[in-house]
């Protein structure tokens, strides 16, 4: 199965080791710039997965490519990150990166429900800060509803990062999508994720 996975802020293939063995795993900011994502996934495939910031980027800049994939799965997508995660907290994270970047990244993963967070790489500092700034300013404006019959949207019922009210705003502009509630936080387990991909 040809799978492309677009991760979230500070994500790593190590978070989904089974998936990363077979999928093309793309990490925003540390691995690619947002403007480059359409070109990275234009070749199409069987399954396109976006998680959190990756889901936002796909919905914002790549929805014209959804038809190039048999299935598209967006996990915890949002139109604007600050719809559920206050801007002041993102700015606090940016400030905290100056003094304790490892602590900021670790705390974020903990709030995602991550049980085995990836290590912070000091070489990623500037890219991670840029990513936080992106999350403050990036917004999706969709003037007309988008019909995506091959789209599945997944939301963790315990998600403390992208809360239900942010997901509801996505639901307002997307037609024909299938919605799944996962029994997890912001990061769903690999077992649950693989089950959704293989359905």
Q: What is the mean pLDDT of the chain?
A: 96
CB hemisphere CA count around 40 (13 angstroms): 22
CB 28 within 8 A of CB 51: no
Quote the pLDDT of residue 116: 87
Q: Are 115 and 91 in contact (CB under 8 A)?
A: no
DSSP-derived secondary structure for 121-156: -GGGHHHHHHHHHHHHH-B---SSPEE-TTEEEEEE
Q: For 90-135, how does the pLDDT look when each residue is reduced to its tens digit (9 = 90+)?
A: 999 999 999 999 999 999 999 999 988 999 999 999 999 999 999 9
- The H or E element containing residue 71 is strand 69-75
The whole-angstrom separation of Cα 64 and Cα 42 is 10
Tens digits of per-residue pLDDT, 57-103?
Answer: 999 999 999 999 999 999 999 999 999 999 999 999 999 999 999 99
| pTM for the whole structure | 0.96
Neighbours of 166 (CB within 10 A): 22
Rounded distance, CA 2 to CA 147, Å? 23
């Amino acid at each position: 199965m040809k799978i492309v996975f677009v991760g979230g802020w500070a994500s790593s293939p190590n978070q989904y080791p089974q998936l990363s063995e077979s999928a093309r795993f793309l990490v925003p900011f540390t691995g690619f710039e947002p403007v480059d994502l359409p070109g990275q996934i234009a070749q199409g495939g069987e399954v396109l997965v976006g998680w959190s910031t990756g889901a936002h980027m796909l919905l914002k800049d790549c929805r014209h490519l959804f038809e190039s994939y048999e299935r598209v799965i967006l996990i915890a997508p949002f139109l604007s990150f600050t719809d559920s995660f206050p801007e002041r907290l993102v700015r606090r994270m940016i400030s905290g990166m100056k003094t304790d970047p490892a602590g900021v990244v670790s705390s974020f993963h903990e709030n995602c429900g991550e049980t085995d967070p990836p290590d912070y790489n000091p070489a990623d500092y500037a890219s991670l800060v840029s990513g936080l700034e992106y999350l403050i300013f990036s917004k999706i404006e969709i003037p007309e509803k988008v019909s995506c019959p091959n789209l599945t949207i997944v939301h963790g019922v315990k998600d403390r990062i992208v809360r239900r009210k942010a997901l509801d705003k996505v639901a307002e502009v997307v037609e024909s999508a299938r919605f799944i509630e996962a029994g997890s936080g912001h990061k769903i387990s690999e077992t649950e994720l693989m089950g959704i991909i293989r359905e």
